[in-house]
Amino acid sequence: MAAYPASQPGAQRHTLSVLVENRPGVLARVSGLFARRSFNIDSLTVSPTERPEISRITVTARVEQAPLEQIIKQLNKLLHVLKIVELDPSTTVERELVLIKVAADVSNRSDVLELVRMFRAHVVDVNTEALTIEATGSQGKIDALMDLLQHYGVIELVRSGAVAVTRGSKALSEKVVGSEISDR
């Protein structure tokens, strides 16, 4: 997923981690806030957490700081939203997964395999005319690999979107207060 150009001067890429109770409709309400404000979501990933009653939504979007603050205030008002944190890139580990099916026949297969090795990616499927490559890493690493593979012909592509955690020994769910969920 290529980086989106800023829609307005001052718009920057922000990553939010939103802890929600596992309830039907919560994801629709969270993503709906971005849609109603006409912001393009770069990535939206929902996953279970270390606690079965909580899910984590990781959202990356290009917005200006003032509208982002408004979105956070509105998210905090939603029922079943437990905690919202804007993640600081300097204290966060953020990764994506991509599967890329690339044209690779006898004439170029060794070149494609060399790129796979350089990016510490893995070939997960081999065909006489194509290779399917799995890579994980930062948005920049994934973008760079995809740019280089375009030359060979990308047949199919699927990208997971960002997942992120803060560095260190603390869990974001520890910050959920006023609930039995906060007990570890």
Q: Quick one: pLDDT at residue 174?
A: 80
Same domain for 76 and 100?
no
What 3-state class would DSSP assign to 8? coil
Per-residue pLDDT band for 31 (boundaries 50, 70, 90) equals: confident
| pLDDT computed for residue 181 by the predictor | 46
- Tens of pLDDT, residue by residue over 85-114, are 999 989 999 999 999 999 999 999 999 999
Same-domain pairing of 80 and 115: no
* Model confidence pLDDT, tens digit, residues 4-24: 343 455 678 889 999 999 988
Q: Is residue 49 situated within a structural domain?
A: yes
Sign of the torsion angle spanned by Cα atoms 62, 67, 71, 72:
positive
Question: In which domain, by residue range, is 43 found?
Answer: 12-89+167-182
Q: pTM for the whole thing?
A: 0.78
Q: What is the CATH number of the domain that holds 104?
A: 3.30.70.1150
Q: What is the domain count for the chain?
A: 2
Kindly state whether residues 31 and 80 are assigned to the same domain: yes
pLDDT of residue 10: 61
Joined tokens for residue 68: 């982002």
For residue 3, being part of any structural domain is answered with no
Domain co-membership, 55 together with 112: no
Are 62 and 32 members of one domain? yes
Residue 60, domain member (yes or no)? yes
With DSSP H G I counted as helix, E B as strand and the rest as coil, what are the percentages for the chain, rounded to 5?
A: 30, 40, 30
- Asked if the model's pLDDT at residue 61 lies above 60, the reply is yes
